[in-house]
Every structure is written in structure tokens, then in C-alpha cells.
């Protein structure tokens, strides 16, 4: 997502706005996003819950000169239960010119777009199993990203030679800043057909499989088809792109197309990155399971922002910088999201660590397999220093995406770093076989994934706990409580009693924490069971030579890191004060 933490590694505006919508008149001073639009992952209404998204035919005409889009979204729906309205989300800055229901125009009095919730009244209630079609035509200037990809929207940029270079990134704000959708991680469209119409000779690289192109009056329409598309992953990528293509022969017997759309002059660097993708596919298929979208493609596109996990067309904007680690961290992180976000998705924002933390853990894990334990350890140590751990990673109260940018809470960074460390600690506790079995079941919903025999999984932290308990045969409630449902990290108190060390665990909530601890005494390593959170180890003649958790297998409170973090924060504040005085 959105530039992961480095340690881990065509038309003018319509003149009259319908009720509840407005136009953005001055792109230099855009209005703010509405309260609803700025948030992604809000609770679904009853009508949204009852809406099955079978098909979407989305047509977008993009005019770089006017900085506008005009589009039509045609949905095929199935009522999953009683419905009296069809409800979508759409940024109210767009002007909606028509709404069709089952092919007939809907009167203005029977639809509205209040604060970004587009409601279309049905003439009579739909019953479970009823089929509906809805077509929404709209136009306007999309929200411009202020700090992409962290604050999302559209980017109207130019290449170094002055050609249009356009991209979108909208994970936190959601799909409704670009097209009418149900802005929820659990609502996916079965099949999405996408047609991007752009000025020739620009290229529009899209999600899924390339279906074809057509040219008319100086415009080119690029057509794509994707299945089970992650809602925030549908993206615009427009520019004077050139393309590098490869085919990867999977260990599962299928052939996977690889494509990278890059700017002119970057063929050599892009080609080297494409070559690396083969190693990455091999790692993930060996470690987790089959690439989830092998019948579509592995795609990359060069973007004016850092990066984002846009399903089968991941954004890449890291500038092809050489790395002493021997791999491109951004490409690797966004590619991890094909498994941890696009195949496995959180059911709600509270469980976002499943995507970001497990996805981030894949980078040191990849390096461990490629270059050894030393780099795995070094990458984890670098990320350990960034863990804030003030608030629970999985809070009890419902969250929306805006919590990501709460810097004081630190949750938006902890879901990467602390999430990865939780995975590391759990792996050390239950062992590789149980850990990777649990991950595989979590991602695919089965033990034996093969191309074509699985569907996207929508999961919670409790689901991961159940899979880990099933795979390991252990009760792990104490582990998930301490690391995910509480803020502060577990503390280990070490007290010297003559020739022995007494070890005691404590948690912020006073919950049990029987985490075994390894102690190196001289040249030997002793594993202390820590039943009931307490344990003792005899030092013997090596009383002055011992180390607690010498291989750093356990995520725990570290006073040295806390002191260092406070000093770094104070220094940053003083530096900022100096700049403004």
C-alpha cells in the first residue's frame, strides 16, 4: 500500500447540477472532500449489504487539457435480500446527468446524492434473487491528490518531455472519488469491463486482461476486463508508455503474463525490474501459494507517485534506485499485496494489519530466503525501531480509513512494522510448518490451492487466530490479545536472585502471557517455559555472561528504543521550531 515503510523493507462540466451534487469550478482551489467521501470503509447500509455486484461496465473519457473526466457506470445487480433503494458512493463534486434503472430514466425526485451517498429509489421493493440494472452518467474534475499516495486522488502530471502523465491512488479515500461504487473492502464486482478513452497516442494501462482498443477522431479507447476487483484497486494510468512483456512458467503448471508500462527512456531499468519479478513470483508461490491472478497478468506501471497495490497493475514510482539489499523494496511490497489485499482482504479497516503487516513481513522473509538470516534480522531490527505501539492494532470500536493519518496514535505506521513483527514472533512461537499452513489457509481458504480452485477471502484477525490455533494445535488467545487487542507491548522483567534469573511477563491489560523465553548462558541457550508468565533460569558459573532472547524472536517493550524515540521526536520538533521562527 501507498509507498510502504522502507524498513520492510474529455468533456467540459455540465452547466446544471442535479440535487445534492456540485461542480468543481476552479482546479487551482478545489473544494475539500465531503465528510463521507474522504472516508473509506464506513458501515454498509442495509441496502448496500443486500446489493450483489455481478457486473460493471465502466467507461471513462479522460481529458488532460481540461483536467476532467466523464463516465458511465453500468451495473448488473442481484438482490441478496429485500431492497427498496440502490445505494452507491460517489464524490458529490461530480455532476450526474442521468440515472437509468432497468433501462428507464429515473426522475430527479427519485434519486439524490447527499454528501456522497447516491440513493436511487426503486419503484417497488426488490426481493431476494431479483436482477436489476443501473446506469449512472456523470462528469467533473476529480479530487486532486495533495500528497499521493498517502492522501489520494488524481494526479495530472507531465513527463519530462511535457506529455500528459496521469495516475490515481485512492486507498484511504476509496473508489468513490473516481466512479460510483460501494466503498467497502467486502464488496467486489464479479466481472468488471473497463474502457478508458484518452487522447491519441496516449496509452491507458488497466487492471486485468487487455481486451482490445479502438481509435476515433483523435481518441483511443483502451479496454480491460478484471474479475473480483478490489474496489480501491481500479486505477487510471495514462501516459506515453512503452511496454516490456515476459511470460513466467509457474510451478503450478500455468503460464503467467508479465507486463511493465514504463516511460520512454527507461527500458533498461524496467527490464531489470521485470527480470526480478520472476524471482518474486517463485518466492511467493513457494512460500504462500499460486499467484491469484495468473489468468490475467502480473502488471507494473510507472507512476508520478511512489506506489500502490492496484490489482494486476501495481503502481511503481521509486525511480529504479539501486538497493544495497539487492532487490527493489517497493516493487516487492506492492507485489506482496496481490496476496495480502487483493486475494486476502480485510473485512473492515480495523483489520488492516492483515494486509499491511503480513504484506510487509514478506520483504524480510524474501531476503532471508535469497540472502540469509543476517539480512532478515537486519531488516526486522530497522523496522523494530519504528514501532510506536500506543494504541491497539485491532481496536474494539469501528475505524474508518482516516485513522491511518493520525500520527499521534501511530496506528497507520504500526500496521506495517508492528504487524510484521507480530508475524515474526508468531512464526518463532509455533514453528514454520504451522505458521505457513495458517497463512495459506487464511489467504486461500483451503489447504490445497491451485490455479482456478479458490476465490478472494475476506478475513478478520479472529480468522487468523483460528487458523493459527488449528495449524499449531495451541490456544493462542493470549498471544492475539496481548499483541493486537492492547496497545503497549508486553514487558519482561528480569531480576537477579543469586545465581539465577527470575523472569516475569506483564501486559497492559493484565492478561496472561506465557511466552517462552530463550536465554543464552555462556555458550548454551536455555528455553524458559514461562508457565503463568513466570520462569527461572540458573546461571551457574556463567553468571556474568547471559543474554535475554539473543536471537530477537519476541516483540516486547524495550526501554532503550522508547528513550531513543523520545529523543528523535524532540529533535524533530526543535528542528521544525527553528524553521518557523
Provide the strand spans (E) within 142-208.
153-158, 164-169, 189-199, 203-204
CB 186 within 8 A of CB 204: no
267 φ, ψ (degrees, to nearest 5)? -60, -40
- Give the confidence band of 9 by pLDDT, cuts at 50, 70, 90: very low
**What is the model's pLDDT at position 544?**
73
Spatial contact of 331 and 281, defined as CB atoms under 8 Å apart:
no
User: Which residues lie across from 302 on neighbouring strands?
Assistant: 316
| pLDDT band (50, 70, 90) for residue 438 | very high
Per-residue model confidence (pLDDT) at position 94: 97
Q: Stretch 134-160: mean pLDDT, rounded?
A: 95
- Give the pLDDT of residue 367: 97
Interval 155-199: pLDDT, tens: 999 999 999 999 999 998 999 999 999 999 999 999 999 999 999
Residues 538 and 546: their CA atoms lie apart, in Å, by 11
In Å, what is the CA distance from 250 to each residue of 255, 281, 283, 369, 378?
Answer: 6, 8, 11, 19, 31
Whether the Cβ atoms of residue 311 and residue 3 lie closer than 8 Å to each other: no
Query: Which grid coordinates belong to 62?
Result: 479522460
Instruction: Provide, for the chain, the percentages of residues in helix, strand and coil under a 3-state DSSP scheme, each rounded to the nearest 5.
Output: 30, 30, 40
Q: How far apart are CA 177 and CA 90, in angstroms?
A: 6
Q: Which three cell numbers mark 140?
A: 467533473
Task: Give backbone dihedrals phi and psi of 172, rounded to 5 degrees, phi first.
Answer: -70, -40
DSSP string over 497-538? ETTEEEEEEE-TT-------EEEEETTEEEEE--GGGEEEEE
The proportion of the chain whose per-residue pLDDT surpasses 90, expressed as a percent, equals 87
pTM of the model: 0.93
CA atoms of 361 and 354, how far apart (whole Å): 10
pLDDT tens readout for residues 443-486: 999 999 999 999 999 999 999 999 999 999 999 999 999 999 99
Q: Judge whether 432 and 407 are in contact, CB under 8 Å.
A: no
14 — pLDDT class (breaks 50, 70, 90): very low
- What does the block give as the cell for 234? 481500479
Q: Which three cell numbers stand for residue 264?
A: 520512454
The Cα 306–Cα 1 span in angstroms is: 10
Looking at the DSSP assignment, which residues form a beta bridge with residue 89?
117, 181
Domains annotated for the chain, with CATH where assigned, are 1-158+165-233 (2.60.40.1730), 344-484 (1.10.390.10), 491-554 (2.60.40)
Strand-by-strand arrangement of the 517-521 sheet: 524-528, 517-521, 546-548
3-state secondary structure of 60: strand
Q: Give the largest Cα separation in the chain, rounded.
A: 88
Residue 348 to residue 185: CA distance in whole angstroms? 7
**What is the per-residue pLDDT for 16?**
30
- Which is nearest to 256 in space by CA: 284, 233, 219? 284
Q: 397-433: per-residue pLDDT in tens?
A: 988 888 998 989 999 999 999 999 999 999 999 999 9
The Cα-based distances of 231 to 169, 176, 187, 202 in angstroms read 12, 9, 7, 25
The pLDDT of residue 12 is 26
Amino acid at each position: 500500500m501507498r509507498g510502504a515503510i522502507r524498513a520492510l523493507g474529455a468533456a467540459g462540466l455540465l452547466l446544471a447540477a442535479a440535487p445534492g451534487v456540485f461542480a468543481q469550478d476552479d482546479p487551482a482551489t478545489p473544494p475539500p472532500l465531503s465528510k463521507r467521501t474522504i472516508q473509506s470503509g464506513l458501515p454498509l447500509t442495509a441496502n448496500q449489504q443486500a446489493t450483489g455486484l455481478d457486473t460493471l461496465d465502466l467507461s471513462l473519457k479522460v481529458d488532460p487539457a481540461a483536467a476532467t473526466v466523464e463516465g458511465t457506470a453500468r451495473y448488473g445487480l442481484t438482490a441478496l435480500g429485500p431492497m427498496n433503494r440502490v445505494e452507491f458512493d460517489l464524490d458529490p463534486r461530480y455532476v450526474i446527468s442521468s440515472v437509468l434503472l432497468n433501462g428507464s430514466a429515473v426522475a430527479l425526485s427519485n434519486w439524490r446524492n447527499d454528501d456522497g451517498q447516491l440513493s436511487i429509489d426503486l419503484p417497488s421493493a426488490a426481493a431476494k434473487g431479483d436482477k436489476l440494472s443501473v446506469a449512472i452518467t456523470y462528469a467533473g474534475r476529480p479530487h486532486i491528490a495533495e500528497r499521493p499516495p498517502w492522501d489520494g486522488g488524481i494526479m495530472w502530471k507531465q513527463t519530462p518531455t511535457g506529455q500528459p502523465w496521469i495516475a490515481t491512488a485512492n486507498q484511504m479515500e476509496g473508489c468513490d472519488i473516481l466512479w460510483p461504487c460501494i466503498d467497502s473492502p467486502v464488496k467486489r464486482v464479479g466481472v468488471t469491463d473497463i474502457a478508458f478513452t484518452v487522447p491519441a497516442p496516449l496509452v491507458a494501462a488497466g487492471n486485468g486482461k487487455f481486451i482490445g482498443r479502438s481509435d476515433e477522431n483523435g481518441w483511443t479507447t483502451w479496454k480491460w476486463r478484471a474479475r473480483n476487483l478490489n474496489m480501491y484497486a481500479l486505477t487510471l494510468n495514462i501516459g506515453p508508455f512503452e511496454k516490456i512483456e515476459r511470460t513466467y512458467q509457474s510451478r503450478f503448471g500455468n503460464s503467467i503474463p508479465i507486463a511493465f508500462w514504463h516511460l520512454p527512456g527507461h527500458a533498461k531499468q524496467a527490464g531489470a525490474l521485470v527480470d526480478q519479478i520472476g524471482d518474486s513470483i517463485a518466492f511467493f508461490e513457494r512460500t504462500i501459494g499460486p499467484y491469484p491472478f495468473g489468468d490475467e497478468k502480473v502488471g507494473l506501471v510507472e507512476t508520478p507517485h511512489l506506489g500502490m497495490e492496484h490489482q494486476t497493475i501495481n503502481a511503481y514510482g521509486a525511480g529504479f534506485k539501486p538497493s544495497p539489499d539487492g532487490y527493489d523494496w517497493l516493487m516487492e511490497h506492492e507485489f506482496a499485496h496481490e496476496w495480502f489485499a487483493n486475494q486476502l482482504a480485510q473485512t473492515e479497516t480495523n483489520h488492516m494489519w492483515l494486509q499491511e503487516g503480513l504484506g510487509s513481513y514478506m520483504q524480510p522473509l524474501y531476503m532471508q530466503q535469497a540472502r540469509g538470516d543476517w539480512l532478515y534480522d537486519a531488516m526486522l531490527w530497522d523496522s523494530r525501531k519504528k514501532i510506536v505501539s500506543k494504541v491497539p492494532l485491532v481496536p474494539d470500536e469501528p475505524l474508518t480509513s482516516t485513522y491511518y493519518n493520525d500520527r499521534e496514535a501511530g496506528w497507520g505506521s504500526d500496521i506495517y512494522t508492528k504487524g510484521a513483527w507480530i508475524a515474526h514472533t508468531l512464526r518463532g512461537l509455533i514453528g514454520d510448518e504451522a505458521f505457513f499452513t495458517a497463512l495459506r489457509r487464511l489467504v486461500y481458504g483451503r489447504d490445497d490451492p491451485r490455479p482456478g480452485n479458490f476465490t478472494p477471502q475476506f478475513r478478520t484477525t479472529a480468522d487468523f487466530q483460528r487458523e493459527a490455533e488449528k495449524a499449531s494445535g495451541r490456544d493462542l488467545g493470549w498471544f492475539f490479545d496481548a499483541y493486537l487487542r492492547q496497545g503497549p507491548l508486553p514487558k519482561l522483567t528480569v531480576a537477579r536472585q543469586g545465581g539465577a534469573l527470575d523472569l516475569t511477563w506483564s501486559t497492559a491489560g493484565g492478561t496472561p502471557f506465557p511466552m517462552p523465553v530463550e536465554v543464552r548462558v555462556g555458550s548454551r541457550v536455555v528455553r524458559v517455559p514461562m508457565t503463568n508468565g513466570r520462569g527461572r533460569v540458573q546461571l551457574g558459573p556463567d553468571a556474568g555472561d547471559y543474554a535475554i532472547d539473543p536471537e530477537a524472536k519476541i516483540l516486547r517493550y524495550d526501554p532503550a528504543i522508547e528513550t531513543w524515540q523520545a529523543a528523535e521526536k524532540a529533535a524533530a520538533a526543535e528542528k521544525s521550531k527553528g524553521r518557523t521562527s
